[in-house]
Amino acid sequence: MVARILDGKSIAADLRAEVAAAVAEMKAASGAVPGLAVVLVGDDPASRSYVTGKEKACAAAGIYSREIALPATATRAEILAIVRALNADDAIDGILVQLPLPDSSIERDVIEAIDPAKDVDGFHPTNVGRMVLGLPSFVPCTPAGVVEILRRSGTPLAGATVVVIGRSQIVGRPLSILLSQKGVDATVTLCHTRTKDLAHFTREADVVVVAAGRPHTLTGDMVKPGAVVIDVGVNRVPDASKASGYRLVGDADFADVAEKAAAITPVPGGVGPMTIAMLLRNVVEAARRRRGAGA
Ligand code: GUN
């Protein structure tokens, strides 16, 4: 079997067009323009590139975006003051603090300072709790993008056996909750670095989502023939043939897994573009809720 490529770029383009139409409608109805503030601390090149991607996507969808760039030396108090000012700023519907922060020990405090109504990342405990309870909430963008790519590619999820590899707070753990929710109805196993015999679980799965943050986590021999594989990994590996000196690879051995799977997302061009599209969707949703449903 040679896998169908699940083109996240193209599915995300459809989603972004839907968001742009919703923004245009909101503007025509009330003059309101949804606004996103992106806080970037330090100069990590990967974070810089993600933030630029998010800002460009906002512009293309008609969403106002404002970047607040702080030096890596910014203190907890300085970052919290910025977040509080953004909470009170009426032009801003969504606040995103790009992670990881140079000082990861303050991430929790910073996330908890964001007004849950503006928490378009869905990382605030209020939104996490609401999601677990199945109440309306902002859902983290990458897990939401994974569910959307599965839905829009026609992958059956009700009753399906899904293995998620990786228990991060941003991807694996929320994804395991979303997929097992009523209405999605998958049977979910959450595997992680301490899982004994990972292949034993993945070989039984109809869908494998790999979000381990490590290349070669999933190889062809670990996959059931006909399974659907979603690769959330974004790893930079040295490549002298590239001007940048590196290339991006996922957590799955793409060519090897593609021989066994029915469908697989590529890296780049799979989950990444979906994440950005879901962020835009959350910003518009935040604007609707804050400004009234008709806005
Ligand atoms: N870093 C990696 N992914 C994300 C994300 O979805 N949101 C934020 N804020 N930071 C990230």
Q: Is 169 labeled as catalytic in the residue annotation?
A: no
- pLDDT for res 295: 54
Closest CA to ligand 1's atom 4: 99
Q: Is 14 labeled as catalytic in the residue annotation?
A: no
Closest CA to ligand 1's atom 9: 98
Task: Give the Cβ contact number of residue 132 at 10 Å.
Answer: 14
- pLDDT for res 42: 98
Return all residues near 288 (Cβ < 8 A) that are at least 6 apart: 26, 295
- Scan for tokens 């004994």, then name that residue: 196
> 206 CB under 6 A from ligand 1?
no
Summarised one tens digit per residue, pLDDT across range 1-28 is 799 999 999 999 999 999 999 999 999 9
User: Which atom of ligand 1 is nearest to 97's Cα?
Assistant: 9
Closest CA to ligand 1's atom 1: 99
Domain ranges of the chain: 31-117, 141-272
CATH code for the part of the protein at 31-117: 3.40.50.10860
Give me 13's structure tokens: 């383009």
Position 290 confidence tier, pLDDT thresholds 50, 70, 90: very high
Give me 16's structure tokens: 């972004």
Task: Please say if the pLDDT value at position 191 is more than 90.
Answer: yes
> 120 CB under 6 A from ligand 1?
no
CATH code for the part of the protein at 141-272: 3.40.50.720
Among residues 35, 44, 61, the alpha carbon closest in space to that of 120 is found at 35
Report the sign of the C-alpha dihedral through residues 216, 221, 223, 228, in that order.
positive
Mean pLDDT of 245-271: 98
- The one catalytic residue among 93, 119, 121, 231: 121
Please measure the distance between the N-terminal and C-terminal CA atoms of the chain and give it in whole angstroms. 49
Task: Please say if the pLDDT value at position 119 is more than 80.
Answer: yes
Mean pLDDT of 270-284: 98
